[in-house]
Amino acid sequence: MSDFPFSGLNLAIATPFDAQGRIDLGRLEQNIERYIAAGIRGFVLSSGTGMHAYLSADESKSLVKKGAKIINGRAKIIVQTSALLVEDVVERTRHAKDCSADGVMVLPPFFEGPTDDRGIVDFYTEAAKGGLPIIGYNVPQAVGVAITPSLLRELCAIPGFCTVKDSGGDLGKQASLIRTGLPVMNGADHLVAYALYAGCSGLIWGGANFAPRTTVALVEAAASKDWADVRKIWASLEHVMSLLWEGDYVQSVYAAADLVGYGAGSPRKPLRALPADRVATLRRALGTLVEREAA
C-alpha cells in the first residue's frame, strides 16, 4: 500500500455537534488532536459518517477550513465534496484545495442522475476540473449507481481520478475491483480485515472513530503481513463492526464514540440518537475496546 497516496487508515471523522445541533469546532479540535496522538495519519472531513448530507455548503466549508488548520500537515486530508450539481462539486473541490487538502471523495450523480457508464464518466471528467485527486464513491445501495470493474478502468483513465472507495459491502464484488490491478479503497467496516488480505489499497473507516488505537494496530499488522496478528486484533473489532453494518450506521458510530470517550454529541436531525436498548447492545459488542482505547 506504500505507493498509494491514501494508503493505510483514513478516519471518516464524525462531525461534532453541540446541544443545539451546531458544529462544535472546539470539540473537533480536541478529537483531532486525540486521534493524531493515537496514530491516525489520514482524515476524511465532511464524510458520510460526518453527516455531509446534512451540512450546508457553508458549514461544510467552515468545517474543512478549521479541520485542515488543526491538522496542519500532520496527516493526509481527504474532503468529501459531493453535490447534486457538478459545478458545485468543482467549486467545493477548489475550496478544499485552498485549504491544503490532499484529495476529495465524490459520489457519482445521485437523485435521478445518469446511471449509464458514459454519464458517470462524463460527470467525473467534469468533477476533475476542481484540481485535486478524486476518490470515487461506490455505495450502490444508497445512490443506485454501481462501479463495476469495466467502469473503474474507464474512470481511472480520467486525469485526476485515482481510486474508488467501495462501500457496497460485498467482498466478492470488491475483490473483482481489486483484481483489475487498479487502486481500490475499502469503506465497509465489517470487511476490513478481509479487504486488507485481498489487497485493497487503503481504508476509509468510520468505525475507527471509537477505536483509533486498535484500528491503527490492525492496519500496521496488515502492512507487515502479520496475518495472525491481524486476525487476533480483528477478533476484538469484528462484532461491533458487523453490528454497525446492520443498520443505523451513523447513529451507532456517534453512540459508540461517546461510550469510548471520543464523543461528538448526537447526530444532527433528521437522525436521532440511538434508543437505550440499542446503546446497551452496542456497549456489549464493544467488549474490551472501551478499556483498550482508554489505556
Per-residue model confidence as pLDDT tens digits over 112-136: 777 889 999 999 999 999 999 999 9
Averaged pLDDT, 218-230: 98
C-alpha cell recorded at residue 36: 493524531
Per-residue model confidence as pLDDT tens digits over 246-273: 989 999 999 999 999 999 999 999 998 8
- In this structure, the chain runs to a length of 295
Hey, how many other C-beta atoms are within 10 angstroms of the C-beta on 43? Answer: 28
Question: Which residues neighbour 26 within 8 Å (Cβ) at sequence distance 6 or greater?
Answer: none
pLDDT number for residue 1: 41
Phi-psi region of 96 (alpha: psi -120 to 50; beta: other; left: phi over 0): alpha
pLDDT number for residue 34: 96
Structural domains in the chain, CATH included, are 9-294 (3.20.20.70)
Which helix (DSSP H) or strand (DSSP E) does residue 80 occupy?
A: strand 76-80
- Alpha carbons within 13 angstroms on the beta-carbon side of residue 280 total 3
Per-residue model confidence as pLDDT tens digits over 15-28: 999 999 999 999 99
Per the DSSP assignment, residues forming a β-bridge with 163 are 135
Per-residue model confidence as pLDDT tens digits over 170-187: 999 999 999 999 999 999
Angle at 244 between CA 2 and CA 75, to 5 degrees: 30
